[in-house]
A and B are shown apart, each in its own frame.
Chain A
Amino acid sequence: MTTLVELPPSVRAAWPYEPRQARVNGWRMHYVDVGPDGGGDPVVLLHGNPTWGFLWREVIPPLLAAGHRVIVPDMIGFGLSEKPTREQAHSLDGHIANLAALLRGLDISNATIVGHDWGGPTGLGFALANPERVRALVVMSSWGWALPPSDFHTRVFPWRLMHAPLVGPYLLGRHNVLAGRGVYLSVVDRARFRQRAQAAYEAVLPDPATRLLTWTWPRWIPLDEGARALDRFNWIEQGLRAWKKPVQIIWGREDDVFDRGKFAGRFKALLPHAEGPHLVTGRHFLQEDSGPEIGALIADFLARLGSA
């Protein structure tokens, strides 16, 4: 199990936050909780596959500068959190419940839930099940409905092959290709990413046994009516149609996983009152190219909402 002290010095220097632990649904979840103690208006930053809280390192400072409390959990199975070794430990409902356990344990209220990739459905699910704790939503390069999938996710090469039976445990398990190369391929400034961030994503998935969720999550993305989480995604979509609280949409101009026209556009259609989409430089992992700008966009959005 990876701990902060085992990370390369460059990673630790870029992630100076005190590690915290919580028990959620029987698992050990790592998170950071920084900013004004006991202050309201927390911002909860949720990563996806195969990243961890580190993804938000350049988003956090503008939020702290604006006076927000910032909470950044590592999803169970990623980052510095516990990594179950059986795929039955993972489901969308389970991850939503993990987040609920953390945020209820912290007695969070008036929260802004920010979701990227699988942090989107997870955070949206939490918000819809716990609306009394949520002030606003921010979504980026993610989705909140069952079908249709993105063009990227329907292609055999490389996506479906990457996590196909036995191929997934080989490529993503033995060879860690999603953290080792997939993220690199999905940023704009690859040289900068390799120099500053690549090691952080590989270091927390050091052995095949730690990488299970990297090929389990892809198999939970609905591709057809037989998908496992179809009902939950449909519930999320219905909930979003009725959601009246503030929403902000941020997307990467170069996103080639969740096409911005289709996916940011569908969020906008579901949530016509949403701000945006604000476009920033970025492919799927847009935080790697535009972290400070994203942090400032969220801080400005929350400032416009005024005091809770």
Chain B
Amino acid sequence: MSGVQPIPAPSLEDTRLAFLLAEDRVGHYPEFRAFLTRVFDLDRVGLAAPGYLRAPSGGVYALVFIGRSGEPFPAGVEISAVLPALEPLDEDAADRDLWAILRWLIEGVGGAWSVADLDATGRLYRIAASA
């Protein structure tokens, strides 16, 4: 539905990570952390490797997980676009991809969280990517 797919680690040769979004408390609602842990096998992988997603544009995004002493892992996560090393970011495309990633996240978390509510929230706050 979201068009977002977890993918194996791509080759990072001649690429750079363009930072987009940081979340310091991915466990604020624990079901969000549980979903990411399940999808990326984080109980086994830990800090050894990022997770990767392919978004509807074809762009690849790295999810770098963050640990904090005394807190369940992961405590946080950063999302960066994997770009050709010397190319600028297409901001509009990245924003649409981030919205798709959020829809994928909400769909995967499930329970009380629905893509319909996320889309309604995006429309309420006039997020172009949600139109």
Binding site for B on A (CB under 8 A): 86-88, 156-158, 160-171, 173-175, 177, 180-182, 185, 219
Contact across chains for B28 and A165 when beta carbons are under 8 A apart? yes
**Which of A157, A163, A165 is most buried by chain B, counting CB atoms within 10 A of its CB?**
A165
Q: Which residues of B contact A163 (CB under 8 A)?
A: 28
Q: In this assembly, does B40 line the interface, its C-beta being within 8 Å of a C-beta of chain A?
A: no
Taken together as a complex, chains A and B put the C-alpha atoms of A181 and B79 apart, in Å, by 25
Select the residue from B25, B95, B112, B125 with max chain A CB neighbours within 10 A: B125
Interface size in chain B (residues, C-beta < 8 A): 33
Tell me whether A165 and B29 are in contact (CB under 8 A).
yes
6 contacts between A and B (CB under 8 A): A161-B113, A162-B121, A166-B77, A166-B102, A174-B20, A181-B125
Q: Which residues of B contact A171 (CB under 8 A)?
A: 121-122, 125, 127
Residues of A within 8 A of B120 (CB): 157-158
Q: Is B41 an interface residue (CB 8 A)?
A: no
Please report which residues of chain B, range 82-114, place their CB below 8 angstroms from some CB of chain A when the two chains form the complex. Answer: 95, 98-99, 101-102, 105-106, 112-114
Complex Cα gap A157–B115 (Å): 11
Q: Could you say which residues of chain A place their CB within 8 Å of the CB of B45?
A: none
Q: Could you say which residues of chain A place their CB within 8 Å of the CB of B18? A: none
- In the complex, the answer to whether A165 meets B98 with C-beta atoms within 8 Å is no
Please give, as numbers and ranges, the residues of chain B lying within 8 Å of A185 by CB-CB distance. 124
Q: Judging by beta carbons under 8 Å apart, are A158 and B24 in contact?
A: no
Contact, CB under 8 Å: A181 / B105: no
Rank and list the top 3 A-B pairs by shortest CB-CB distance, nearest first. Answer: A177-B125, A165-B32, A157-B117
**Are B24 and A88 interface neighbours, CB within 8 A?**
yes
Which residue in A86, A156, A166, A180 is a CB contact (below 8 Å) of B23?
A166
Q: Which of B21, B24, B29, B124 contacts A174 (CB 8 A)?
A: B21
B5-59 interface with A by 8 A CB criterion: 20-29, 32-33
Q: Is the beta-carbon distance between A156 and B24 smaller than 8 angstroms?
A: no
Report the nearest B residue to A165, measured CB to CB: B32
Contacts of B117 in A (CB 8 A): 156-158, 161
Whether a CB of chain A sits under 8 angstroms from the CB of B118 is yes
Flag if A166 contacts B79 (CB, 8 Å): yes
CA distance A258 to B25 in the complex (A): 26
B25-A167 in contact (CB<8A): no
CB within 8 Å of A: which of B60-93?
Answer: 77, 79
Are the C-beta atoms of A177 and B127 separated by less than 8 Å?
yes
Q: Smallest CB-CB separation from A226: which chain B residue?
A: B30
Are A86 and B126 also in contact (CB < 8 A) when A158-B120, A165-B29 are?
no
Q: 13 additional contacts, CB 8 Å, given A165-B27, A167-B118, A182-B125?
A: A156-B117, A158-B121, A161-B121, A165-B32, A165-B33, A166-B105, A169-B21, A174-B21, A174-B95, A174-B98, A175-B127, A177-B125, A181-B124
User: Do A161 and B24 touch across chains, with their CB atoms under 8 A apart?
Assistant: no
Q: How far is it, in angstroms, between the C-alpha of A181 and the C-alpha of B127 when the chains are bound? A: 11
Question: Could you tell me if A156 and B126 are in contact, using CB atoms closer than 8 angstroms?
Answer: no
A181 touches B118 (CB 8 A): no
Contact: B28 with A164, CB < 8 Å?
A: yes
How far, in whole Å, are A175 and B117 apart by their CA atoms in the complex? Answer: 18
Interchain CA distance A177-B125 in the complex, whole Å: 6
A287 CA to B124 CA in the complex, in Å? 23
Contact A170 B126 (CB under 8 A): no
Chain B residues with CB under 8 Å of A157's CB are: 117, 120-121
A168 vs B24: C-alpha distance when bound (angstroms): 11
Distance in Å: Cβ of A256 to nearest Cβ of chain B: 14
**Minimal beta-carbon separation of B21 from chain A (angstroms):** 5
Give min CB distance, B97 to chain A, whole Å: 11
Q: Which residues of A contact B79 (CB under 8 A)?
A: 166
Closest chain B residue, CB of each to CB of A176: B125
The docked-state distance in angstroms from the alpha carbon of A181 to that of B112 is: 25
Separation of A157 and B119 alpha carbons in the complex (Å): 10
Closest to A162 in B: B121
